[in-house]
Structure 1
């Protein structure tokens, strides 16, 4: 029960929208299973997963929990777009280097990169990393070619030699095979996907988002107490547009469940600062002033891949006078993780980017499993909560036009 003795949620529908991730959604089920058990042991509640009912639609699982004396049930579904991600990553080595040039121009040529640097340096370093890593790999391959050419004394190509040049391709292929360690190709494809149309969504993604909107709209007709949409990383800006379309469609029933949006580790400015992101900028403006949902944005300065504590609406420059959302709060990794745990994770940047979905050994007021499986709505859980004093809410983007 909550502190007032009232259970607000008995049944919940949760829709999780991943970021740019080519992996099968079962990884999220197993992550939820392991981390929820760990958090339950730490926080003193009970939570258990069961398989989703056969024939009940998308990939997901069923959760039953007992927290604060209340029993709740939640059905969690992953809104899958990993197939689109895999298709966008199906690029050869030359095409990836061409992506590098186009993506660098998309951010540098428009001035977006320099404006993004005024927010947080962490995600900018993450964005520059694949550029320098790929150029470094090419440089090492050319140095090796030159050395081999010099040793063999061949001069078909000045200072390199044809035989030396022949080693460039195998070296680049070796780096690509080892990208599970370097993440250069993965990150390059990620940033290139957002930048390829200057911030516009590709047609296949728009079509998939329309399917997601239909699924969420159907859930709002169910006999549940809350429909919660969780957008992680680049999934956050997809959720913004999906929910904005849903609100404009008038798909919310008059006496339906509470609608809530939880954005985690968001990288919205990487898209909203681009010149042709008019749709996203309009959608940010529209849901920021809606009284039909609750939007809580959770990031942490310790997450170098996210725009930590940057209000995505305000920094994009589209905050309306009647802006209500998001409530920007910090997961405060340095406080909610023990010194030993923080030391273990501090330099594991990709792992930290997923910490929002994991257990905290010193939990504060952010607990992913209480939010997704507990007895309070998102609105009730954070009622009266003040936004982080360290948030950044000044307009920085140079592109502020919105779609009609």
Structure 2
């Protein structure tokens, strides 16, 4: 969207002079600085393409909780459509929880694989997920297949060393039972040592293969069969308290919560808790932007009562705007799947989310799309990046521009390709 193009909404209502953005990352063990650098580089590129001005600066003060869970952020000043807007961006950090959930040993990761596969298969959840989109299910099966392949290759290496060693000894004419037993022990030991070294090498290469990373991600979601772990519940409560406080701050015209990937369902529960806090005087408009969501991976599990209840409650609220953006080109997301409807928890008066497409095949030039098409993990982050043929979705105008999320999408119709039928076997909300 160029600077002179009218936003999708009618553009009516007060303009945003100052905004607070809370960004909730997905399952990511990396420190939040990576998101600041991503915003800085991609924002500058989008501003160049679309003809507006965007500048980042360090945030004054630290505003951290006592345990350091919150507080990393930056400020953005934008000049768009002749209006200046300042946005304070804060990353709601749960990377420490992610790091703690990652199995420290190779053996523990393989146990996670077996347990997670059993949960998804035995509950019928995997089959139901395949009804929606095969892309994210294939992405979920990828770490299983890759880890099994690595184990098979390691076993083959051990077997070859043992057999070649034994054959070499036999050619020398040593054929007694004692020699055979000793050489078998020796060469199988050498083979197993080489196999273990190969397995460690595979894990060192996981920055390119993503097998261990994705396995830990899915195992974390399924560990309690869809229920949140106590440490995540505590962090959600912290996030909700932070957002509730800012909503009462007259300095802000809009409070915008952005949840990416697994951060989308965390954001759902955070905002559901915000709505339950009994807000006093509220000065800011509240928006929720979910990007590349994988909500069904959790909400379809049998014990996900809390998440399903939060989805139901948030979908009926009239005091916020929830826009869900995905793209069929993103094989890691449940593209255009209404997370409330497919989970089977739509309230009688359902308002949200508004499901729209980022349309990668249209908003990325043919050359850019060809370069990114098979880089699945990179495409999953495209929602946070610049588009060289921008359409109505512009992450930087939404988070730093003069219009609220509600005004930008006020007249937008949901995608005609959206999936909004119940697919989950489990729909209980635990009331």
Q: Which range, TM-score by smaller chain?
A: over 0.9
Q: State the partner residue of 2:92.
A: 79
1:238 corresponds, among 255, 263, 266, to 266
Partner SS for 1:302: coil
Q: Distance in 2 between matches of 1:352 and 1:4?
A: 30
Q: Within 1, Cα distance between the matches of 2:29 and 2:137?
A: 22
CA distance in 2, matches of 1:249, 1:5: 30
Superposed counterparts of 1:170-189, under 5 Å = 170-189=197-216
- In the aligned structure 2, how far is the partner of 1:316 from the partner of 1:205? 21
Deviations 1:25-69 (A, max 9, x none): 000000000011100111111010010002333000000001011
Superposed, 1:111-130 pairs within 5 Å as 111-130=124-143
- Between stretches 228-237 and 161-170, larger displacement belongs to 161-170
Kindly indicate whether structure 1 or structure 2 has the higher relative contact order, using CA contacts under 8 Å at least 6 residues apart.
2
Corresponding residue number in structure 1 for 2:177: none
2:423 aligns to what? Answer: 396
Instruction: Choose from 31, 36, 59 the match for 1:29.
Output: 36
Q: Which runs of 4+ in 1 moved over 4 A?
A: 1-7, 154-158
Quote how far apart the aligned CAs of 1:255 are. Answer: 4.3
CA distance in structure 1 between the aligned counterparts of 2:11 and 2:399, rounded to whole angstroms: 20
Question: 1:205 matched to which residue of 2?
Answer: 232
Are residue 370 (structure 1) and residue 397 (structure 2) matched?
A: yes
TM alignment of 1:1-400, pairs within 5 A? 7-57=14-64, 58-153=71-166, 161-222=188-249, 223-251=251-279, 253-400=280-427
Name the Cα RMSD after superposition: 1.6
How big is the shift at 1:164?
Answer: 2.0
Instruction: Summarize the Cα distance change of 1:17–1:4 in structure 2 as closer, same or farther, 3 Å threshold.
Output: closer
2:254 and 2:240 map into 1 onto residues whose CA distance is 16
Task: Report the secondary structure of 1:117's partner residue.
Answer: helix
Q: Distance in 2 between matches of 1:73 and 1:167?
A: 57
CA distance in 2 between partners of 1:353 and 1:145 (Å)? 37
Distance apart, 1:221 and its partner CA: 1.4
Cα distance in 2 for partners of 1:23, 1:403 equals: 34
Unpaired runs of 5+ residues, structure 2, are: 65-70, 167-179
CA distance in 2, matches of 1:350, 1:56: 32
Q: TM-score normalised to the size of structure 2? A: 0.91
Residue-pair matches, total: 403
2-structure distance, mates of 1:28, 1:250? 32
In the alignment, the residues of structure 1 paired with residue 300 and residue 147 of structure 2 have an alpha-carbon distance, to the nearest angstrom, of 24
Looking at structure 2, the residues matched to 273 and 286 of structure 1 have their Cα atoms a distance apart, in angstroms, of: 17
**In structure 2, C-alpha distance between the alignment counterparts of 1:181 and 1:44, rounded to whole Å:** 35
Quote how far apart the aligned CAs of 1:403 are.
2.4
Q: CA deviation at 1:168?
A: 1.9
- Determine the C-alpha separation between the residues in 1 that align with 2:304 and 2:282: 34
* Contact residue 300 and residue 333 of structure 1 kept, 8 A: yes
TM-score (norm 1): 0.97
Corresponding residue SS for 2:131: coil
Higher Rg of the two aligned structures: 2
> SS where residue 161 of structure 1 aligns?
helix
Structure 1 stretches lacking a partner, 5+ long: none
* TM-aligned CA distance change 1:230 to 1:143, over 3 Å: same
> In structure 2, how many angstroms separate the alpha carbons of the residues matched to 1:17 and 1:383?
24
